[in-house]
Amino acid sequence: MDILRDFVKEQGLPYFYDVIDDPNGHWHFDSSKGMLKRQYGSQYAGVCHTALPAKGHTRPGEVLFGTDSHTCMAGAFNQFATGIGNTDAGFVMGTGKLLIKVPETMHFRLEGRLQPGVMAKDIILHCIGEIGFDGATYRAMQFDGPGAASLSMDDRMTIANMAIEAGGKNAIFEFDSRTAEYVDARVKLNGTKSSYTPVEPDKDQKFVYELVVDLSKLEPTVACHPDPGQRKKAKDMGDTKLDRAYVGSCTGGKTSDFVEFARVLRGKRVTIDTFGVPATPDIVHDLQSTRWGGKTIWDILVDAGVQMTENAGCAACLGGPVDTFGRINKPGIKCISATNRNFPGRMGDKESQVFLASPMTVAASAIAGKIVDPREYLGN
């Protein structure tokens, strides 16, 4: 961070969301606050993929390159967004250009509407299950249709985020009034560039693959160890006992994700170690200030036994050092997670197993101590 801070000063970069407030200081872990209390300054923005749109930096029709594979999440905003390596990033910074091959397009037409207990995570896990975790290698995944139009921006972000879990170069949604409402509000709030030109599908567009998905027929879905393409229905996995549950990351750490997590957990208790990591400080604020039946969403989760941290970030989604919050440090641990990737060692120990699911499915499974269908817990 110190090197990055110096680079920002040298280049005069206008947008830098530093983890500390003192421009000449250094970040230090405050052991008196521990893992759960806030350890960052007022400018820190959290996970970049969630923070970029929230801070008014994602606009329809633009091209976004980022040095992380989940940069493709910005495709939810009608943007060509994809991950690149550090060398390519240096070239972009120095020249403003990058040579890339135009990907072929796979078409996913979404129809119908999601039923209670089913979330956007189930849509993308279903699609990846259809084509495999390498089925979209260096291809664009285009999502459209009346079902796509019915999805919130958070839902679209979840789906676009996991294009890379199918090997995709990028994902993209059509521009509509929901896109405009979100983008216009964020650029106005943050004073960022307000003009943009959305892209529309070519009238003669051609696809290398087409799939129609009826959202009304989807059920809670789980991607099993060892890759995101190992799809099963949650209701068929009752024999899979769990040791841990986790909700967070750019994929599953948004405000709406925690609201649905709380919808299942409200008035109940988890029976296994359960961790909650919001993606951004703004989401922490949302959860600590939004009340539901006399309690904040945050308190509902804490009272249910969830270990909630104010330190928004990636945390155990990418493993990290052994002292990372929520990291799996023992072999044989089985964890159900609302994150995006479950290859061996992704969340820590290489002998652990990670099962990917929606926040609702994670919540229900945390209560049961085994993988279950969240619809069993709705309305109870």
Asked if residue 46 belongs to a domain, the reply is: no
Asked if residue 8 belongs to a domain, the reply is: no
**Average confidence (pLDDT) over 135-141:** 98
Residue 76 has pLDDT above 80, yes or no: yes
Q: How confident is the model at residue 380 (pLDDT cuts 50, 70, 90)?
A: low
What pTM was computed for the model?
0.98
Q: Per residue in 337-350, pLDDT tens?
A: 999 999 999 999 99
Asked if residue 57 belongs to a domain, the reply is: no
Residue 64 has pLDDT above 90, yes or no: yes
Q: How confident is the model at residue 177 (pLDDT cuts 50, 70, 90)?
A: very high
Of 294, 296, 380, 374, nearest in space to 338 by CA = 374
User: Which pLDDT belongs to residue 44?
Assistant: 97
**Average confidence (pLDDT) over 134-163:** 98
Asked if residue 19 belongs to a domain, the reply is: no
Residue 345 to residue 225: CA distance in whole angstroms? 11
Asked if residue 238 belongs to a domain, the reply is: yes
Residue 319 to residue 114: CA distance in whole angstroms? 32
Asked if residue 296 belongs to a domain, the reply is: yes
Which residue range(s) make up the domain with 261?
222-376
Residue 37 has pLDDT above 90, yes or no: yes
Average per-residue pLDDT for the chain: 97
Q: Where are the alpha helices (DSSP H) in the chain?
A: 2-11, 48-54, 86-95, 120-131, 146-149, 153-161, 177-190, 249-252, 255-265, 281-289, 297-303, 359-368
Q: How confident is the model at residue 379 (pLDDT cuts 50, 70, 90)?
A: confident
**Chain centroid to CA 54:** 13
User: Which pLDDT belongs to residue 235?
Assistant: 98
Angle between helices 153-161 and 177-190 (to 10 degrees): 90
User: What's the total number of domains in the chain?
Assistant: 1
Residue 36 has pLDDT above 90, yes or no: yes
Residue 103 has pLDDT above 80, yes or no: yes
What CATH number is associated with residue 250? 3.30.499.10
Of 379, 360, 377, 372, nearest in space to 122 by CA = 360
Asked if residue 89 belongs to a domain, the reply is: no
The amino acid present at 332, given as its one-letter code, is G
Asked if residue 161 belongs to a domain, the reply is: no
